Structures are given as structure tokens and as C-alpha cells.
Structure 1
Amino acid sequence: MADLGFAQLSNWLRFRHLVLIDTLARTQNMHATATEMNISQPAVSKMLREIEHQLGFDLFRRLPRSMTPTDLGSQVARYAQIALNDARHFVGQVNHLRQGGHGLLKIGSIFAPTSVALPAAIVAVKTRWPLLTMEVLEGTSASLLAMLEHKELDLVIARFTLDRHRQLFEFQPLAPEPLCLVTGSQHPLAGADDLPLAELANWPWIVFPTGTPMRARLERAFAEAGMRTPENTVETISLQTTLQLLQTAPMVAMLAEAMVAPDVQAGRLTRLALPFPLVLADYGIITRRQETPGWAAQAFIQALRSDVQARNHDGRPADNG
């Protein structure tokens, strides 16, 4: 079987083909795909046969109640999704520019930079380009990097969670992330000069989900102290939920210092006195490898790096004020 060439592919492949592949991969149902694309089911079946004939392999397994992607089909569906997201971004940028705007920049960030570094960079960029629309999404490193890979974001401020990320993305380190243990101000441990480490695991904890760097650091801290990991836990990435729980229940959480500094200063939360430091690896600016960021992304990256460097030069931590 001859290999598929780019010229051959570009001569017949259409965006409608990509939409069909992406939709069918999501719905895994011919009827649902036809409804979403507003065409008949026979038309979907005919178009799929044509695509598979041109590619030279099956994209989907025909099962009695569903159509699941084959191994090759999963790869094709992934690239179809990336191409469609890229096209949507292009259309959005063009329409925004036609209406007099300066484009659209989509940024993903973990929580620590959102307290100081991220807002400062946004203000700096918006001061120069007030008509530039900026969208900011908070989340875990894993979820944000998945969106970056699929071109749903222009850049991410996070840290790698998988080895393959080093092949997919460029990383520019920004700052470490100091962590602390906190409770509500009414917690029995609040204000204790000598923290009874052996009792920590007995309290209810609010933790990040399994697989996140924050969760891994917490588990490592307990292992290094020779203690069992807490079993009475609530898992969430929501800062608002975490803060509310800490203030209304006798719970403990490990969070970035920057995230809790305002509540500690206001007396709503109390930092526990730890005999050992808690620091995560540096977070940084992450962009897609072998793809030059657009002008807006480059301007934002420069503003972000300038702010962090200025804080470091002044002797102020980059992310905890």
C-alpha cells in the first residue's frame, strides 16, 4: 500500500471531512453525527467511506450500537480536532480584527501566578493594546497542557506533568512555588508553636486530585516524614471551595503561599508552623514546540518575564508578594 502524500491529501481533503471525523469520534454514533452536521445519515456513511478509501484504512469500527475509532482513526481524529481548533481561532482573529480589535489571546494558568504575576502582565499588555481581547482560564497543569496541545490555548503558565510534554512544548522557567499548610483560624492546630506532625494525618484534608504536582508533593512530604497519607479527604482544584471549607470545618490543606496570603493576612486562615520547607518545581511559560507564538503572545510573555525579573531584582518573591 502506497504512503499517503501531502499533495494528494490536500487535493481532496476538505474541512467538512474533518468535521465529520471529529464529530463521529466524539459521538461514536452515525445518527447523532448526521443530526449535528445537519445532513442525512446515508450522506455521513457515504462521506466516511470516501475518506477511508482515500486514506487507505478504516477510521472506525462498525459495532452494533456504536462506532469506535480504530488506533489509526484515533490519531486522525486527534489531528482533525487540532486543525479545526486552529481554523476556529483563525476565523475568530480575522473577525475581531475586521471589527477594529487587536486580536484575541487565550491564556491558561495554574493558580499560583494568578495572584500577582499574571494580573501585572495583563495590565501591562492591555495598557499598550486596549483593544486586544484576552481570555484567561485557570486549571491544573495537565488539563491546560491538553488544551494547549489541541490548540485551544495560545500559551500556558504551568509545569510539565508527563515526559512527552518535553517533546511537544517549549518551557521558559519563571519562578518556584513555595507551599504552606493552612487551616481555618478556629482550627485546634491554629497558632500551635509545636506542630504535632504525627497527628496531621488524622485530620480531614482538602487535596488536589491524583496526578497533579501538588498532590504528588503532598504525598512525598508525608512519605519523607514517615507518615501515612491522609485518608479522610476532599479532592478539588477549586480555590473558592477550598477556602470555604477551611473556614467552616476543621480541615487542613497544602496550598501555594500566594493563593492564601490575603486570607492569612485578614485572619481568616492560619499557616501552620512547619519544620521543613515545601516547594514545588518552577512553573513557567509553555508554548507549542516549532511554532512561533503570535505577536500578542510574545508581548504577553515579555511583560510576564519583565514583571517576574523586576520582583526578583527588588528582592520580592515572584508569586507571594
Structure 2
Amino acid sequence: MTQPALSRTVRRLEQEVGSPLFERHSKGMQLTAIGSALLPHATLLLREAENATEEINAMRGLARRTIRVGAVGAIASLILPLAIEGVLKAWPQLTVSVMEGVWDRLAEGLIKHEIDLALSATAETPDEIEAIPDCRWQDRSNIVAATGHPLRRKRKLTLEDTMNERWAITPRGTAPYQQLQQVFRDSGLGLPNIVVETRSVIVLKSLVTRSGFLGWMPESIYDADRRARLVNLLDIPGATSVRTLTAFKRRLGILPAPAAQLLLEIRRLAARPTKW
């Protein structure tokens, strides 16, 4: 669209709304308060139109539909791959786009329409997002160490024995960090010696398996490494935490059909966690 055509479109929209949508000044333009209020509704309409076009083109055989989903690492490591496998068996024409991240990034992705479903631990949500109540399951987090870590030679380990070890964990404010903090607090202890904070699951696992660090991870994150006998939990009384995981979507708008198919498969798996 040319600049004159864009200007005419903006003027027509401002006439329909009955108020300026932009403040114009020497450095450019910025949204007015009314423009800012209109923006999320305009974004929703645009995305719904794109979804409709994508669905029609798929029905006509002109395009393939895409599942856009985001997940925290624990879900991306286990239940999400299983759900994707199940959906693609039934709907092989679909493609999948996955965003992995912590909750704040996933919530942003939902609001910005980068993803249509987010899979994470239950959490407080912005007004634009809602949890899907009939899609819930649980996972368990533990203190983990390499199979050859010196602490394994000590009998009757306690949390206090881990205080001066080097720890690697996700950053302050993330759910795993808060879980670990609560576990130590319940035993009357402060935080242990956290040396590395990172959002990278690969870095966390490498520090535990290769560099002698202790970590705090959901079982699904380290399951493959446990099977390979590289890492395992430390058997410490009280050093386990259970959390509830669920699916989230935007409060407004229609859940696109590909995301709805994935949600059905996740519901099926969540109802049968012993089969994972």
C-alpha cells in the first residue's frame, strides 16, 4: 500500500471512530489513547481473518495449516512431542510451529498472536488470557546431580548438605526458582549457592551432567538423561515438589482448528499420564 493510500485509510477509520487515532508530531506518529484501545481489537480481527483465509485455502488444497503452540521446557520435553505425534497421525497435512520459553514469554506470544495455545504451570494470567480448566495434569520436580557426583557417597543426605554445592537453575522469578526457594524455606533454610542462572535447558543439563553442578528439574526434563545413566535425583527427604500444568488460550476469538486438534490430543494424554 502506498503512503497516500495508507493516509486515506487512516483518515476514513478516524472518521468512523469519531476521534483521532494518531498524534502527529515532528518525529513521526504515535497512537492516541483511543488508538491504543482500538489496537488489540484490530489485531484480533486481522488474525481471525488470517485464520479464516488459511482454513479456506487448506480446504481448497492450496496451503497447509499450522499448529502454533508454546510450552515450558518440561512440557516441550515429553507430553508435547507425544501430542504432536498423535495429531499428525490423524492429520498428516498439518505442520507445527513450537515456541519454547518460560511463562512470561508464552503469555506475550499468546497476546501477540504468535501462538494459539500455551502449555505451562498454572499461573496468574493477564486479562487477555484464560486457562482451559478441563486440561490439567501434574509433574514432579527434584534435586538432580550427575550419577558420579560426590554427594552420592554420603548416607542420609539432607538439604543442608547441598547448601554449599554449586547450583544451576532458571532465573529469579521463574516457577522452578520459586519452587526451589519454597522447598528450602519449608526446611528452615535460605537459598543454596546458586552460581549460574539461565533459561537454557541445554545449558542447565550440561552443567549438571558435565560440570558437577546440582540442579532443580521436572522429571520429564531429565528423563532421557536418567535412562542413559548420566543423571538422577538425589534422594533427600522433602526435596520434591509437585505442580499442576495446564493449557492456556486467548480469552477472545476462535481457537484455530489445528490448535483445537492439538488440544484434544493433550486432553487425551493428560487423562492417562501413566501411559507416557
TM-score bracket for the superposition, by shorter chain length: 0.7 to 0.9
Is residue 226 of structure 1 aligned with residue 194 of structure 2?
no
1:198 aligns to what SS in structure 2?
helix
SS at match of 1:220: helix
Name the counterpart of 2:266.
304
Matched with 2:145 is 183
204 and 271 in structure 1: CA distance in 2 versus 1, 3 angstrom threshold: same
Q: Is the 8 A contact 2:168 2:204 kept in 1?
A: yes
Unaligned runs of 5+ in 1: 1-36
Distance 2:254 2:35 in 1: 29
- The residue type paired with residue 174 of structure 1 is R
TM-score if structure 1 supplies the norm length? 0.71
Match of 1:288 among 250, 270, 276: 250
Report deviation, 1:292: 4.7
Identity of aligned residues (%): 25
Where does residue 204 of structure 2 map in the other structure?
Answer: 242
Equivalent residue runs for 1:1-321 within 5 Å: 39-40=2-3, 51-52=13-14, 54-57=16-19, 59=21, 69-99=31-61, 103-164=65-126, 168-230=130-192, 232-289=194-251, 291-311=253-273, 316=274, 321=276
Query: How much has 1:43 moved relative to structure 2?
Result: 7.5
Structure 1 residues 79-88 or 215-224, which shifts more? 79-88
Assess if the C-alpha contact under 8 Å between 1:109 and 1:158 holds in 2: yes
Distance in 2 between residues matched to 1:199 and 1:62, nearest whole Å: 63
Cα distance change on mapping 1:61 and 1:268 into 2, 3 Å: farther
Q: Secondary structure at the match of 1:78?
A: helix
Q: Secondary structure at the match of 2:142?
A: strand
Partner deviation per Cα, 1:130-185 (whole Å, 9 max, x = no partner): 11222222222222232223332222222343254596443334211100111233
Q: Amino acid of the residue matched to residue 77 of structure 1?
A: L
- Once the two structures are TM-superposed, the CA of residue 80 in structure 1 deviates from its matched residue by 3.5
Asked if the contact 2:121/2:246 (under 8 Å) is kept, the reply is: yes
In structure 2, relative to structure 1, the CA distance for the partners of 1:60 and 1:166 (3 Å cut) is: closer
State the distance in 2 between where 1:259 and 1:200 align: 21
Moved more, 164-173 or 259-268: 164-173
AA at the equivalent of 1:264: R
- Distance between the aligned counterparts of 1:244 and 1:291, measured in 2? 41
Go from structure 1 to structure 2 and tell me whether the alpha carbon gap of 1:302 and 1:74 turns closer, same or farther (over 3 Å shift).
same
TM-score, normalising length: structure 2: 0.81
Paired residue type of 2:108: A
Q: 1:43 to 1:178 in 2, by over 3 A?
A: same
CA distance in 1, matches of 2:265, 2:126: 28
Give the superposition deviation at 1:246: 1.7
**Which structure has greater strand proportion?**
2
Specify the alignment match of 1:20 in structure 2: none
* Deviation readout 1:266-291 (Å, 9 max, x if unpaired): 12223211211523431122233364
Unpaired runs of 5+ in structure 2? Answer: none
Say if 1:170 and 1:305 are closer, same or farther in 2 by CA, change over 3 A. closer
Aligned residues: CA RMSD: 3.2
CA gap 1:259/1:64 in 2 versus in 1, 3 angstroms: same
For residues 101 and 227 of structure 1, what CA distance do their matches in structure 2 show? 57
Residue type at the aligned position of 1:275: P
